[in-house]
Structure 1
Amino acid sequence: MTKSRATAIGFIAVLLWALLALFTVGSAPVPPFLLNALCFSIGGAIGLIWVWRTGGFGQLKAIPLRVYAFGTLGLFGYHFLYFSALRMAPAAEAGLIAYLWPLLIVLFSGLLPGESLRAGHVLGALIGFAGAALIVLRGGAAFEGSALPGYGLAFLCALTWSGYSVLSRRLGETPTASVAVFCLATAVLSAIAHLALETTVWPQDALGWGAVLALGLGPVGLAFYVWDIGVKQGDIQLLGVASYAAPLLSTLALVIFGIAAPSWLLLAAALLITGGAALAARASAKT
């Protein structure tokens, strides 16, 4: 597989994550960890069906337990820290700190063998982050001292996902089929977290169950498989910067379906994110 093709496949994850907010709204009032358990169960089942169809169960047995522990820590750790941060700090500000992960991916990728980090990658990531900040904060921020523990968890959340994405590159020989096990283990841990921390509330109607199914098939399913291909074989710096398109496309989806209103802020964010991605792409082309 060529590097450009792997990068394009990885970007499918960004497109799928753009639907996360839309489907999550449709799944209300299901609490986060229960939703996590349901969606990752679906995502893991998809992976097992794919492995079964391709005769890959043998390769799953050959994967070391430390790799499964690493993948589960990445997927479950990110979501556990993210939801915990939102419980302890204002959602917009905590969400913005958590969304430092694309920038951290770009910076950490410079430590990988064979990778070259250029100024254009860093500048593009910073510009993209500015665009994402406009969307997440809606033009204003009010960081509260009492919410510092939540902000700390949000930063750990960003470190977890960026670390998982970059270190996955070092596991390039590990088949993407392993993500199925990551998803199922995350579903089990999410169910335990739900029983310990939440009150059970199931989807209210067919629309709610449809939204859960859509989440499990796409943003919390297929997305992790294509992301695995992208970060292992594609241009990881470009993928990191391009990930800032997710909050932009997510807001656009909410606008299209009448859940959010269009604004000049959205246009400014689009220009910043597009400009940042263009700078990173140019730096990758020079490399």
Structure 2
Amino acid sequence: MRGHRLLVDSGVTALAPAIWGSTYLVTTEMLPADRPLLAAMVRALPAGLLLLALGRVVPKGVWLWRALVLGTLNIGAFFFLLFVAAYRLPGGVAALIMSIQPIVVLVLAALLLGDRIQVRHVVTCLVGAGGVALLVLRPAAALDTVGVLAALAGAASMAAGIVFTKRWGRPAGVGLLQMTGWQLTAGGLVLLPATLLAEGLPSTLTGTNLLGFGYLIVLGSLFGYAVWFRGIDRLPALAVSFLAFGSPVVATALGYLFLDQVLTVAQLAGALVIVGTVLFAQPRRARRATPSNSLVPSVK
């Protein structure tokens, strides 16, 4: 029964990266051009303020700075870096670079929490990254230096956010949606002054722009982060980080459906490798005496 619940939790959590895989398409096709700060801020702040208003609970004490740190890592910095990568790199290339996230989680867990890095976890990370490479790399794929650095930094930011979210948990009496609202609001407020100073607000927005922003706010943030933080709350963090591999699969599928991109045999093989890696990394049952902040899944 416990194993069944874990699999259900993994499936629900996987919806978040599946939705986020559409970010690349929405960014390039629906949002105003060359405004990564605006895109990141609009995606985060309205959703956060809505959840904050509904929850009617604000962080206090130590959670004032913890919410700011988590909001910056999981939302503010990550959103900005994600959109920089999305604007400057083909979606598949950006997704490939950001697939190093599970490896970063392993390293941070060893450094910050004293978890032991196991060979099978390293191999699983490398196999998963190889599957992403098969899925997204093409001979004509362009590599922009700024975009590559943004994707690497984005992967590191999200990995650190996963680790600290798992370590700190939630304060007593604070619900999952309330905690999600704290982080979205904190991340959006971090982005707001940078957006106004560096980019300003656009003079006009088209109907397509508004639809794109609405999609990112409702599905990408409100729904996506609610199920993502739910997953971090219930699953080992390394297992959650592997679920992010679903993002390039969706990005590639959407490119095939809407951008006339061609799927090759190698890409299909890569997709199968990714699915197998994600399934292998998910816990089947909880280990006895496993600390609540453990980042290593029990793969049995």
Normalised by the shorter chain, which TM-score bucket?
0.7 to 0.9
Q: Distance in 1 between matches of 2:85 and 2:18?
A: 25
- Sort the Cα spacing of 1:15 and 1:115 in 2 relative to 1 into closer, same or farther, 3 A: farther
SS in 1 for 2:202: coil
Q: How many residues align?
A: 277
Please name the residue that 2:293 is paired with. Answer: none
Unaligned runs of 5+ in 1: 52-56
Alpha-carbon deviations, 1:109-160, whole Å to 9, x = none?
467879776544332221111222334432466768xx4x765554333221
Q: Is the 8 A contact 1:10 1:230 kept in 2?
A: yes
1:7 — aligned with what? 10
1:170 aligned residue (167, 171, 175): 167
Letter in 1 for 2:275: T
Question: CA shift at 1:65, angstroms?
Answer: 1.0
Residues 83-232 of structure 1 aligned to structure 2 (within 5 Å): 83=83, 96-109=96-109, 118-139=118-139, 147=145, 151-174=148-171, 175=174, 176=176, 177-198=178-199, 200-201=201-202, 204-232=205-233
Task: Give per-residue Cα distances to partners, 1:81-111, cap 9 Å, x unaligned.
Answer: 4456678x86676664343213322454467
**1:64 is paired with a residue of what secondary structure?**
helix
Q: How much has 1:184 moved relative to structure 2?
A: 1.9
What CA distance in whole angstroms lies between the structure 2 residues aligned with 1:186 and 1:238? 24
Q: Which position in structure 2 is the counterpart of 1:70? A: 69
Partner of 2:72, secondary structure, is: helix
Matched residue type, 2:18:
L
TM norm structure 2: 0.76
- Provide the C-alpha distance between the structure 2 equivalents of 1:179 and 1:208, rounded to a whole number of angstroms: 25
1:28 matched to 2:41: no
Gaps of 5+ in 2: 285-296
- Whether contact under 8 Å (1:37, 1:191) holds in the other structure is yes
The alignment-based identity, stated in percent, is 21
Contact 1:42 1:213 in 2 (8 A): no
Q: Is the 8 A contact 2:9 2:231 kept in 1?
A: yes
Cα separation, 1, equivalents of 2:14 and 2:103: 16
Would you say the 8 A contact 1:10–1:239 is kept in 2? yes
What is the RMSD computed on CA atoms of the aligned residues?
A: 3.4
Please say if residues 3 and 235 of structure 1, whose CA atoms lie closer than 8 Å, have aligned partners that are also in contact.
no
Matching residue of 1:37: 41
Q: 1:57-78 CA distances to partner (integer Å, 9 max, x unpaired)?
A: 3464466212112122212122
Structure 1 residues 189 and 202, CA gap change in structure 2 (3 angstroms): farther
TM-score with structure 1 setting the length: 0.79
Q: Distance in 2 between matches of 1:72 and 1:282?
A: 27
What is the Cα deviation at residue 270 of structure 1?
Answer: 0.6
3-state DSSP class of the match of 1:207? helix
In structure 2, relative to structure 1, the CA distance for the partners of 1:254 and 1:40 (3 Å cut) is: same
Equivalent pair of 1:37/1:190 in contact (CA under 8 Å): yes
Q: Which residue of 2 aligns with 1:16?
A: 19
Matches of 2:54 and 2:8 in 1, distance apart? 21
Q: Which amino acid aligns with 2:220?
A: P
| Counterpart amino acid of residue 271 in structure 2 | A
Structure whose residues are more often helix by fraction: 1
Structure ranking higher on relative contact order (CA contacts 8 Å, 6+ apart): 1
Q: Any conservation in 1 of the 2:105–2:159 contact (CA below 8 Å)?
A: yes
Residue 45 of structure 2 aligns to which amino acid in structure 1?
S
